[in-house]
Structure 1
C-alpha cells in the first residue's frame, strides 16, 4: 500500500521533511519545486509509514486503499509524475543552521500577515534570541488564506492551524489594524528593529490593454474574489449579475475559482464561509453560463490539474470542452513531444475526459474556449454588452499565432483574471519593470542590480512576482528568515536607535486602533460562534467597525 497526495495539497512541503525515504517530490531543493502544481508521492518508494499524514496541515494525504471515488484520479496523477522524473530515495539532509550570538537579542518587524510572512515568522520564533512583531493594516491576519482562498476550499484553509501555532509563541506580537506608511513609516520601523521584513504581497490586478477594459461590468478578478471572501475594502461593492453569460479572461486557479463560485448552487455555498453579502447576491444571480477564455492551448493552462479535476464535483453543472480544442492540443503534444511533461499531459488527458463526457441539460454550465484572445470589450455607460475575440492556432506544436477567424460573444460581465501586480511601497525601492522590490537572496537592494540595504528583507509575491501558491510562499518566507538569521549570526544587522517600547505610544498618537492577539482571537471567536449556530465554518465580519468592535469587546 502507498499513500497518495490529493487536491487540497498546499505545497508547503512539511510532509517532505518527515518522509524517511525521500519519496515525496519535488522537494524544496529541487528547481521544479518553485513551479510545481502540487507534490507527488512515488508509489514505488513509499513504505506506508504514515508520517506524512500526521504532518500535512490540509489533510491532503490518504492511503491508496482509503481513497474516496472522486479522489481516485490522483492514483494516476501521482504515478504519472514519476514517468518523466527520475528521483532517488534516501534520507533528506538539512544544512546546519548558523550559530546565533548568545549575548544579543534581535527584534524583527514583519510587514504583512499572509503565508510568506507567517512561514518566515515560524522560522524566526524558533530562536529564543529573536522577537517577532507582525504588522498588518487589517484587523485580521492570514492574508490571502482568509481573503483569497475560495470559500468552498475549506481544507486548503487548514494551513491556518500552522499560523495559529506561531501566533501563540511568547516571542511573537501582533500589531494588526496598523498600516505601515500611515501609522508608522518604514524608516520608523528601521529605527526600532534590527531587521524589517516586508511581505505585503501583490494585490493589484494586471491590465489587459484592450478597448473597453474600464466599462462598467468589466471586473478585476482581484476585486471579485475579495468581495465574495469578505475583505473589508470590498464589502460595499456591488456587481451586476443580471445577465445569463459571464466571460472570464484568463485560465489560472483564480479564474476557475470565480467560474465555480458563479455556477455553484447557493445552498451549497451557504455551508461555507463566503461573505453573506455575496451569498445574497448569488441567490439573485441570473448567470447560467460562464465562458473561460484562454489565449494558449489546454496544456499551457495556468490552473492546476487538481483545480481542473475539481470541476467534476460540481452538481448541476455541465463542463463543456469543445472537442476540436482537445484535438488541437493532442496534435500539438504529439508534434512537440519532448516539451510536454507529465503535468501538461495530464491537463490534456483530463480535457479529453471532459470532451468525451456527454453534455446534459444542467441548469448551469462552464464553457472552455482555449486558443482564443479577447480583442475588445464592447458596451456603453450602462455596462458590458459583448466581448470580441480572435482565434489562435499552434505554430510548430508549441507557440501560437492569431488566425483570421474573429467573433464575438454576448456577455453582461467580463472578469479579468490575468494575474496580480505589486505596487511601490513608501520607503522601499521598487523595480517598476518587474513590479517587485529589488532583492538578492531576500535582501533588499537599493535598485535592481544595486547594493543591498542592511536590515531590510523581502518575501512573497512582492519579492518574486505573483507566482506560486502557499507552498512556494513557505519556501520564500523560510529563505527570508534564514537570510535574517545569517546576517544576525554574522553581526551584519544595524543596531536600533529608538527603543521598540515606544511603538505603542507612537501608533496611538497616529490614530491606530491597534488589534493584538487577544483582539484577533475575540474576532475569531465571534465569527466561529456565529457560523456554528447555522452549521457554517464561520460567518465573517466584513466591516472595519464590526471587526474593531469585536476586537475591543474581547480585549
Structure 2
C-alpha cells in the first residue's frame, strides 16, 4: 500500500465533489491548460506543480530580454494562478519529491506540461570543449535561469558561430551584437550585461544545413537583425543563386522573409558599422576544432551541402567539401528536447516526447500531456496556447463521456501537501512567489530596469518564506 494511501486513510481526507486536476509544470503549457479547464468546468479545481520556486517557465527564462511585449502573457497567467479554484505549488520536483502514481491517486486527472529541458546533442567530435554552449544554456545564462548562473562564457573572441537558424539562434545573435544601451533597461541579468559590455565579439555567423527557402526563423526576428544599430549584414550571394526565380511560387510569409534576406544580401548595410552578422547556408558542423593548447574551441569545421528533393521534404546531402571557420565561441541552437520524468510514464526516446493521442497519454488512463512534451519543442507561445487548449478540451470530453470516474472523491493537494511534509519538502505558494517578484522589481528599480532576477534558489526560498 502506498504512503499516499496510508496518509489518506489516517487523515480521513474528503474532497469537494468536482473534478480535481493536477498539472505538472508551471510554464505556458501548464497555465494555458489550467486556464481552459477552469473556464470549461465551473466545478473543477486545478493544482499546478513546478520544480522551481518561480512560475512561468520559458516566458521568464526563454523569451529574449528585449522582447518585453511577449512577456505580457504573465498577466494572464497571474490571473489564472489567483483564480479561487487554482493553486500554484512551486519548489516541488515531480518524479523525485512525489511520483506520478501518487499524483494519479490524489487526482482525477494528471496533465504533464513540463516542457523540454534537455539539450539536443550535435553528435560531433569536440562539442564538449570549453567555448561550446547550447543555446538553451546560453539563453538561460542571460535570462537568469538558476542552473545556468555559473556559465561564464568567454566573450574575448571576435567571431561567434551559432549553429541553427531558428528564432532562438537569432535571439542569441542579437543579444551578442546589440548595443549595451539597448539592453540595460531590460530584465537581462546584471552579470550578463557586464559580460556583454566587455565583449569583443564583432562578428556572428548563423549557420544552417539547408538553404534560404528552408530557414526556420520568422520575419520579425530577421527584421530585428537587419535593423540592429551599428551592425551590417554579411551574406554570401552564392547562397542565393536561383532564389529570385523561386519567389513567385512561395506562400506569402515565406516570400516576405526571403525578400528581406535578398535585400540584406544586396544592400549589405553600413560599411562603417563596427559589427556584422551573416546567415550561412548549406553547411553542417562536422567537428569543433581545438586550439593549439587542445584546451578549448578555436574553430569549427563545416561540411558543404547540396539539397536533394523538393518542397518541405528537401534534405541536405554532404558534397565532400569542407570549410573551417576560426571562432572562439560556438553556440548550438539545434533544439531543446524533453526528458523522461518518471518510470511510470511512457516515453518515446527517439522523438523525445510522451507518446500520446491528441494529448491522451498512451495506455495510461487519466494521464494527459500538453505543450512541448506532447508535440516536441516547436512553435511560439501562441502554438503552445492552442495545443494546451486542445488537451484541455480532450480532458473535458473524457470527463463528460464518463472515461474518468468523477464519482470517487479525490483529495487533491491536501493529500500531496501532507505527503510532501513527511518528506521534508516545503512548497512555495503563489502569494510567496509574489514576495520574490516584489524583491526582483525593487532590485531592478535601483538599477534603472524592469527587474533584477534572483539567480540563487536558496535566496528565492528565503525571501518566499520570510
Query: Shared fold (TM-score greater than 0.5)?
Result: yes
CA contact (8 A) 1:326 1:348 kept: no
1:355-396 residue CA offsets vs partner (Å, 9 max, x unmatched): 122441212211211122222111054210111112223457
Write the mapping of 1:142-541 to structure 2, written as runs, cut at 5 A. Answer: 142-331=56-245, 333=246, 338=249, 340-359=250-269, 360-379=271-290, 381-395=294-308, 399=314, 400-426=316-342, 427-446=344-363, 453-494=364-405, 495=408, 500-541=413-454
**Residue aligning to 2:5:** none
Structure 1 unpaired stretches of 5+? 1-102, 447-452
How many residues matched?
441
CA contact (8 A) 1:522 1:550 kept: yes
Write the mapping of 1:35-46 to structure 2, written as runs, cut at 5 A. Answer: none
Q: Distance in 1 between matches of 2:394 and 2:420?
A: 28
1:166-202 residue CA offsets vs partner (Å, 9 max, x unmatched): 1111001011011101211111111111110010011
Work out which structure has the larger RCO, using CA pairs closer than 8 Å and 6 or more positions apart in sequence: 2
TM-score normalised over the length of structure 2: 0.90
1:49-70 residue CA offsets vs partner (Å, 9 max, x unmatched): xxxxxxxxxxxxxxxxxxxxxx
CA contact (8 A) 2:17 2:409 kept: no
**Residue aligning to 1:32:** none
Q: Distance in 2 between matches of 1:310 and 1:496?
A: 53
CA contact (8 A) 1:213 1:377 kept: yes
Let me know the Cα RMSD of the aligned residues: 1.8
**SS state at 2:465 partner:** helix
**SS state at 2:125 partner:** coil
**Residue aligning to 2:35:** 122
CA contact (8 A) 1:133 1:173 kept: yes
Q: Distance in 2 between matches of 1:283 and 1:112?
A: 35
CA contact (8 A) 1:183 1:507 kept: yes
Q: Distance in 2 between matches of 1:308 and 1:420?
A: 21
CA contact (8 A) 2:284 2:303 kept: yes
1:326-381 residue CA offsets vs partner (Å, 9 max, x unmatched): 234334x26xx65x322221221001111122441212211211122222111054
Q: Distance in 1 between matches of 2:32 and 2:448?
A: 31
CA contact (8 A) 2:206 2:277 kept: yes
Q: Distance in 2 between matches of 1:395 and 1:428?
A: 38
**Residue aligning to 1:110:** 23
1:415-443 residue CA offsets vs partner (Å, 9 max, x unmatched): 11111111112121101221110111211
Q: Distance in 2 between matches of 1:483 and 1:241?
A: 48
1:17-43 residue CA offsets vs partner (Å, 9 max, x unmatched): xxxxxxxxxxxxxxxxxxxxxxxxxxx
1:93-128 residue CA offsets vs partner (Å, 9 max, x unmatched): xxxxxxxxxx94011100001111111111112232
**SS state at 2:222 partner:** helix
CA contact (8 A) 2:235 2:268 kept: no
Please report how far the alpha carbon of residue 498 of structure 1 lies from its aligned counterpart in structure 2 after TM superposition: 5.6
**Residue aligning to 1:53:** none
